[in-house]
């Protein structure tokens, strides 16, 4: 069971770094508030928390509209689109390579100082309804620190 959860989390976390084409946006409107290196401190998927020794191996580097995710020695890249006109704030994550390439993942996020919390919907094309994960919703909720 632990291996299945980890494989699912790894797939979604790696997908969270990607995209097929860089979204076009005016340079003055490119969001920079998430830029930097982020290390996962907590991952919960379907109500199951990933062990700390696996969580610490996951990191994401955000540079404007692009991601680079590293997990278990693998690297994946992609793009994202910010939707800051909603509460909670939304992201469309588009993997460029890896198992989720060609898909768009729907996510919500909140930034509290140097702590970034992201909830990814792993089961449908809807945005998550909150920052919680249980067996029913199948969300992946990840907390990162910069």
Domains in the chain (CATH in brackets) are: 2-145 (2.40.128)
C-alpha dihedral, 71 to 19 to 68 to 41, nearest 10°:
-60
Task: Tell me the C-alpha distance between 111 and 141, whole Å.
Answer: 14
Distances (CA, A) of 67 to 18, 79, 89, 92: 6, 6, 17, 12
Per-residue pLDDT of the chain (146 residues; tens, 9 = 90+): 444 344 444 445 544 433 334 445 454 467 899 999 999 999 999 999 999 999 999 999 999 999 999 998 889 999 999 998 999 999 999 999 988 888 999 999 999 999 999 999 988 899 999 999 999 999 999 999 99
């Amino acid at each position: 069971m632990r291996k299945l959860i980890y494989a699912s989390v790894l797939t979604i976390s790696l997908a969270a770094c990607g995209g097929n084409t860089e979204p076009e946006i005016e340079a003055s409107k490119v969001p920079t508030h998430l830029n930097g290196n982020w290390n996962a401190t907590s991952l919960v998927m379907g109500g199951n928390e990933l062990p700390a020794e696996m969580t610490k191996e996951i990191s994401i580097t955000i540079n404007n509209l692009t991601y680079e995710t590293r997990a278990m020695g693998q690297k994946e890249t992609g793009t994202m689109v910010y939707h800051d006109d909603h509460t909670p704030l939304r992201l469309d994550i588009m993997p460029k390579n890896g198992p989720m390439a060609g898909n768009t993942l729907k996510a919500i996020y909140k930034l509290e100082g140097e702590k970034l919390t992201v909830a990814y919907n792993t089961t449908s094309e809807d945005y998550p309804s909150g920052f919680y994960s249980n067996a029913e919703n199948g969300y992946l909720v990840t907390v990162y620190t910069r």
